[in-house]
Amino acid sequence: MKNVLLFICFIASAQLVSAQKVNTETSSVEWIGKKITGQHNGTIKLQSGELAMTDGVLSGGSFVIDMSSIAVTDLSGGGAEKLKGHLMSDDFFSTEAHPTATLVITEVNKAGLRDELMVKGDLTIKGITKPISFPVLMDGDKATADILVDRTHYDIKYGSGSFFDNLGDKAIDNDFSLKVNLDIRTL
């Protein structure tokens, strides 16, 4: 009888952990890069993604980003192709040598709002891994995040006023932003 009670107490205190697969077809990642004279924006695709949920609350996860899928949406024709090629070059993301980037969630804490969480993780771009933190809003089977990334932490210095003088109106902000909309489903 004592063993049965111990087992029941153990089961009652156990946390329910489940994996939530990210639907890469219906999820989206939009990027924005700014410069002195304006900005450019586009999209990039998730290759794969999975979130860990503990008792229905985000507790971890990992993502692989397909760097070769960079698209420019604010330009058309030759202008879009030229910028895409430049972003994929060694001046920026070196996609031939580094076809993917990754994000591994290492810590999740409750934030101010009811469904808002503060996420910490390790972001790897061009083979360089740096810690990053950002808020995530969970809403049922959807998750959204606005992530600000300092590109110079990943050896992307092209056009940075922090590293080059006399750029004038050719200077590019060190930070770029990612607006992430995830569609998740239970595995």
Q: What is the pLDDT of residues 147-156, one digit of tens each?
A: 999 999 999 9
Mean local confidence (pLDDT), 159-176: 70
The predicted pLDDT at position 10 comes to: 47
Single pTM value for the model: 0.86
> How confident is the model at residue 22, as a pLDDT?
94
Concatenate the DSSP letters of all residues of the chain into one string. Answer: -HHHHHHHHHHHH---EEEEEE-TTT-EEEEEEEETTEEEEEEEEEEEEEEEEETTEEEEEEEEEEEEEEEE-SS-HHHHHHHHHHHHSTTTT-TTT--EEEEEEEEEEE-SSTTEEEEEEEEEETTEEEEEEEEEEEETTEEEEEEEEEGGGGT--TT-TTT-S--GGG-EEEEEEEEEEEEEEE-
Q: Which residue has the higher pLDDT, 56 or 161?
A: 56
pLDDT one-digit tens code per residue, 81-120: 999 999 999 999 999 999 999 999 999 998 876 778 999 9
Fold of 16-186: Lipocalin (2.40.128)
Which of the residue ranges 4-13, 60-69, 74-83, 159-168 would you say has the lowest mean pLDDT? Answer: 4-13
Interior CA angle at 96 toward 172 and 133, to 5°? 50
Domain ranges for the chain, please list them: 16-186
Residue 93 in tokens: 């993301």
pLDDT of residue 4 exceeding 60: no
**Residue 166: which pLDDT band, with cuts at 50, 70 and 90?**
low
